[in-house]
Amino acid sequence: MARINFGGVEEEVVTRGEFPLEKAREVLKDEVVAVLGYGVQGPAQAMNMRDNGIEVIVGQRQGTKNWDRAVADGWVPGETLFSVEEAAERGTVIQYLLSDAGQRSQWPKIVECLNEGDMLYFSHGFAVTFKDDTGVVPPPHVDVALVAPKGSGTSVRRNFVAGSGINASYAVHQDATGKANERAIALGIAIGAGYLFPTTFEKEVYSDLTGERGVLMGALAGVMEAQYNELRSHGHSPSEAFNETVEELTQSLIRLVGENGMDWMYANCSTTAQRGALDWKDKFRDAVAPVFSDLYHSVETGNEARITLEANSRDDYRERLEKELAVIRNSEMWQAGAAVRSLRPENWKQ
């Protein structure tokens, strides 16, 4: 492992330099990786490993859109595409990538498919950490590990195809074979991780649920709505309000942050923007700090897990979700966004 200084704190991380793809292939040469679930993370991880020369099969319920998607991606029914249970029986590494609610409902079937020495792999610490709610308690004769890419499946695949990678955390919860750590790192490299940093199942799920509900999704959407609505209430046009709220962030400023950090972004903006940002950032930080404290407490106590499992286990979950997403999609702000995106130069009609 390499020791890297992160803002004055040293961490041990795994890079491709010390654990190259060739080493990952050697570690995994006798494994059959069964990717269960072809929804969010499944397609990207499965295709990346396949492209990297790992033996991969997919488990997905036939007759679903995700089954058809797997076929379109080149997985062959009866050869590399099977039912969830059959794939689990055939695999030596079982990548349990169903939804959190799906992992709970399918666990009684999957646990029966785990043979001695298999690895049970997650990309989220949810099911194991909140075992009292999910019932997911791995048997003692298997390795249990996770590799959690720090991005959506779309980004995992897109970055891989572009020749880069996306960072991931990894953890070993149970080492039955004495090789769990090496197997987990090899799988992280095989799915295309930029670098791997160690965590635990608990820390992964606490940080992940906080991040998704906070800066990455919930807070981002909420803050955008608040600014857009404030501008509109003072007579600014939808185009002006959306461009100043979203378009400039996603198409310009966040890219500068990604390149070299927040100070780099500030340094490449006007002096007026710099002064205003520096004067107001602490006010925003202090305003939302209590919300983040409440959020973390709700995650840590399992309240968020229970809410998620209850909502996602309803028979009408997808219908309810579509209605909630439609409210966002059909709002003036995001209708304005669709119009703004259509006017980007790459979308101009010649």
Tell me which residues are annotated as active site: 124
Nearest Cα to 134, choosing from 178, 185, 168, 99?
99
3 state SS for 51-113: HCCCCEEEECCCCCHHHHHHHHCCCCECCCEECHHHHHHHCCEEEECCCHHHHHHHHHHHHHH
CB 165 within 8 A of CB 184: no
* Residue 224 Cα to chain centre, angstroms: 22
For residue 131, give Cα distances in angstroms to 143, 220, 328: 17, 30, 33
* Residue 39 Cα to chain centre, angstroms: 12
* Helix/strand/coil for 174: strand
Nearest Cα to 46, choosing from 15, 7, 82, 19?
82
Q: Which residues, in sequence order, are CB contacts of 40 under 8 Å at separation 6+?
A: 97, 99, 152, 153
Q: What DSSP string runs through 1-61? A: -EEEEETTEEEEEEETTTS-HHHHHHHTTT--EEEE--SSSHHHHHHHHHHTT--EEEE--
